Amino acid sequence: MPGFINIDARASDSVDISCDIRKLPYQNNSINSIYMCHSLEHLPLPEIQGFLKYIYGLLQNEGRFFVSVPDFNILASIYLAKITNLATIVRAIHGGQEYEGNTHYLSFDAEFLTGLLKAAGFRYITDYEPSEFLPVGFTDTSTYEIAGKKISLNLVAIK
């Protein structure tokens, strides 16, 4: 995405830095904005709180952490309303699992993720609309839909 450094555990032509997101090559208080799209769910529960504190530490004062994850509340409601079957939403809940690291350890809803962000120190947390944040014509999994419903929880947390 323009204006951001693309970091991924797997190297590819679109990746600027290939590394473990738990060990980023940045100093504390050195980053203005972090955008993490459909990555947080790939970390095990015992690591989440420490990781969010780590992200908080990397941000400058007033820095923004944009985070997008699959919204379990939406996915469950799609399934329970029989709008679609489990086979259609299983990848969004559990990851594609077609390569190592593409497994979802956690599910999030707004209450759970907001609580984790507050516990990490973030003082202001609200949702954001990807179309108002992403550059025109740029799409990613934050805008993904299943059965015509957007399935991502998109929050911005301010240090």
pLDDT in tens, 66-99: 999 999 999 999 999 999 999 999 999 999 888 8
- The per-residue pLDDT for 5 is 87
What's the pLDDT at 38? 95
Q: DSSP readout, the chain? A: -TTS--EESS--TT-SEES-TTS-S--TT-EEEEEEES-GGGS-HHHHHHHHHHHHHHEEEEEEEEEEEEBHHHHHHHHHTTSS-HHHHHHHHH---SSTT------B-HHHHHHHHHHTT--EEEE--HHHHSPTT---GGG-EETTEE-EEEEEEE-
Query: Which pLDDT score is estimated for 20?
Result: 86
Q: Where is pLDDT greater, at 11 or 46?
A: 46
Res. 3: pLDDT tops 90: no
pLDDT at 120 over 90: yes
| Domain boundaries 19-158, CATH class | alpha beta
Mean pLDDT of 109-123: 98
Q: How confident is the model over 134-146, as a mean pLDDT?
A: 92
pLDDT confidence tier of residue 35, bands split at 50, 70 and 90:
very high
Rounded to an integer, the average pLDDT of 114-126 is 97
**Long-range CB pairs of 106-109, under 8 A, 24+ apart, other chains included:** 106/40, 106/41, 106/43, 106/44, 106/45, 106/48, 107/41, 107/70, 107/72, 107/75, 108/40, 108/41, 108/69, 108/70, 108/71, 108/72, 108/153, 109/71, 109/72, 109/73, 109/153
Is pLDDT larger for residue 119 or for residue 21? 119
